[in-house]
């Protein structure tokens, strides 16, 4: 695809410190991101050069590496990848800069509301959304004629397939980690519930949250999961589905591209639909994932860093990343691009889910909340809705105040 070459006026070489200004970007592994970086370097002329430093693959490992560097005031980080759940933590620790003025306006321009909300903390913008993410329901068209619209329907369909001796499993992430929290958060949001109050200071675990516990427990004990359910991460789920054991898969859109090359026969029999809801007639509210780009508080070249971040998430680069790496754009107009129709066929379902997406709780202590949730919910078959909710009200409150011990 042709990228527009911005010819920038060469107005000074940006800093008289000799040599070229290097902007160090710490970003998650993304196959074709180096091409985006290259293009931005071309656009920057000789004012700065972006250096792409690849973070580990797992979100926890990324966060640990960034937190260690920033806590040590590492001046060699300029731009960093921020998972949507880290914004409050990094902002309140004083590790990332607020976006203001022209930069803020450009970051907000045309950006979808759901992802943008997760880049703000206490009504200040701390990052520019680079890509978003929502899980979809993937199902086998040779086994299922019409995609189920609720969890009850899906579980019943799987039990029916099981009784007829056909592949029946509903595959999704159930290991004790963030993936289980994403699953639970989607259920809570779909049931109209709340885990924490809106400013993230009190654990509430209301009726919707209790109903979500019941649904999760029922799903885990209905005999429709994989035996490995409680030890599966994203890629395990993808592989199990590609192996032909599942009739349904709840997973991120990356599985689409991976399936085309990994299991073309299964891919040909796979379609996608909106994530199932809890109440018939009320659509699901699916947890948003994705990455922002933030500028480090310890960067020596903040102006260039903001500019580089904006270039890396510009509309044309988001389109390029969506088509080549499968990551859903955060800028709404990109979805309407004619090129997207062919290369990104599930764009309508993704956009529909993003319209009323559910964010995860927003608090600087999110990691504590997540650790407590995943430990308490694992294994989901052991959930006793009322009792588990009562337990969580206490342990989540401790986690918010960073009192007590994390499991």
Partner 1 sequence: MKQEEWRLAWLLCAPAVIVMVAVTAWPIVYSVWLSLQRADLKFPQQQEFVGLENYATVLSNDYWWTAFGITLFITVVSVAIELVLGMALALVMHRTLVARGLVRTATLIPYGIVTVVAAFSWRFAWTPKTGYLAEAFAQGAPLTERASALAVIILAEVWKTTPFMALLLMAGLALVPDDLLKAAAMDGAGWWQRFTKVMLPAMKPAILVALLFRTLDAFRIFDNIFVLTAGANETSSVSMLTYNNLIKGLNLGIGSTMSVLIFLAVAAIAFLFVKIFGAAAPGSDDGGRR
Residues 316-345 that bind partner 1 (CB under 8 A): none
CA angle 362, 329, 102 (to 5 degrees): 75
Among 92, 159, 202, 221, binds partner 1 (CB under 8 A): 92
Contact yes or no for 124/362 (Cβ under 8 A): no
Strand partners, 129: 292
Beta carbons within 10 angstroms of residue 58's beta carbon: 14
The encoded tokens of residue 32 equal: 């074709």
**What is the size of the binding site for partner 1 (CB under 8 A)?**
38
- Residue span 237-276 as binding mask against partner 1, x where in contact by CB under 8 A, dash where not: --xx--x-x-------------------------------
Q: Which range, of 36-44, 45-53, 235-243, 348-356, touches partner 1 by CB under 8 A?
A: 235-243
Between residues 96 and 136, which has the closer beta carbon with respect to partner 1?
A: 96
Shortest Å, Cβ 196 to partner 1: 15
Residue owning tokens 């290097």: 22
- Binding partner 1 (rule: CB under 8 A), the pick from 78, 106, 189, 236 is 236
Q: Is 403 in the site for partner 1 (CB under 8 A)?
A: yes
Q: Which of 85, 247, 228 is nearest to 166 (CA)?
A: 247
Say whether residue 176 binds partner 1 (CB under 8 A).
yes
Taking CB under 8 A as the criterion, the residue among 365, 383, 392, 396 binding partner 1 is 365
Nearest to 85 by CA among 113, 127, 56, 53: 127
Q: Does 369 bind partner 1 (CB under 8 A)?
A: no
Residues in Cβ contact with 16 at an 8 Å cutoff, skipping those fewer than 6 apart: none
Range list of β-strands (E), 229-376 = 246-251, 270-273, 289-295
> Is residue 313 reached through a cis peptide bond, with omega within 30 degrees of 0 on the bond before it?
no
71 or 113: CB nearest partner 1 = 71
Q: Which residues contact 31 (CB under 8 A, 6 or more apart)?
A: 324, 325
Write down the least CB distance from residue 399 to partner 1, Å: 9
227 binds partner 1 (CB under 8 A): yes
Report the interface residues with partner 1, using CB under 8 A: 60, 63-64, 67-68, 71, 89, 92-94, 175-177, 226-231, 236, 239-240, 243, 245, 364-365, 367-368, 371, 375, 378-379, 402-407
């Amino acid at each position: 695809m042709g990228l527009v070459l911005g010819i920038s006026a060469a107005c000074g070489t940006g800093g008289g410190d000799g040599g070229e200004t290097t902007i160090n970007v710490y970003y998650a592994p993304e196959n074709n991101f180096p091409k985006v970086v290259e293009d931005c370097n071309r656009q920057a002329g000789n004012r700065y050069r972006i250096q792409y430093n690849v973070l580990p693959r797992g979100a926890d490992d990324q966060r640990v590496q960034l937190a260690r560097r920033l806590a040590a005031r590492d001046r060699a980080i300029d731009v960093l990848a921020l998972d949507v759940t880290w914004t409050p933590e990094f902002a309140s620790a004083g590790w990332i800069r607020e976006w203001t003025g022209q930069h803020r306006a450009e970051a907000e321009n045309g950006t979808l509301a759901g992802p943008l909300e997760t880049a703000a903390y206490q009504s200040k913008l701390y990052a520019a959304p680079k890509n978003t993410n929502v899980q979809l329901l993937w199902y086998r068209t040779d086994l299922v004629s019409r995609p189920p619209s609720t969890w009850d329907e899906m579980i019943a369909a799987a039990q029916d397939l099981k009784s007829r001796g056909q592949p029946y499993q509903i595959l999704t992430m159930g290991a004790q980690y963030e993936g289980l929290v994403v699953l639970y958060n989607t259920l809570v949001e779909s049931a109209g519930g709340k885990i924490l109050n809106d400013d993230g200071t009190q654990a509430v675990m209301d009726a919707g949250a209790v109903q979500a516990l019941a649904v999760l427990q029922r799903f885990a004990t209905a005999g429709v999961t994989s035996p490995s359910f409680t030890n599966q991460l994203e890629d395990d789920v993808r592989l199990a589905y590609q192996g032909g054991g599942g009739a349904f898969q709840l997973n991120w859109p990356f599985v689409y591209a991976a399936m085309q090359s990994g299991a073309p026969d299964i891919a040909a029999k796979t379609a996608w639909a909106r994530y199932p809801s809890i109440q018939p007639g009320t659509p699901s509210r699916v947890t948003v994932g994705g990455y922002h780009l933030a500028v480090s508080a310890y960067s020596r070249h903040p102006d260039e860093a903001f500019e580089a971040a904006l270039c890396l998430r510009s509309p044309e680069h988001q389109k390029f990343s969506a088509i080549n790496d499968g990551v859903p754009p955060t800028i709404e107009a990109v979805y309407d691009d004619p090129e997207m129709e062919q290369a990104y066929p599930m764009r309508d379902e993704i956009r529909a889910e993003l319209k009323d997406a559910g964010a995860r709780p927003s608090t600087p202590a999110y990691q504590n909340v997540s650790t407590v949730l995943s430990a308490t919910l694992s294994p989901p078959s052991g959930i006793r809705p009322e009792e588990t909710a009562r337990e969580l009200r206490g342990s989540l409150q401790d986690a918010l105040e960073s009192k007590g011990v994390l499991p």
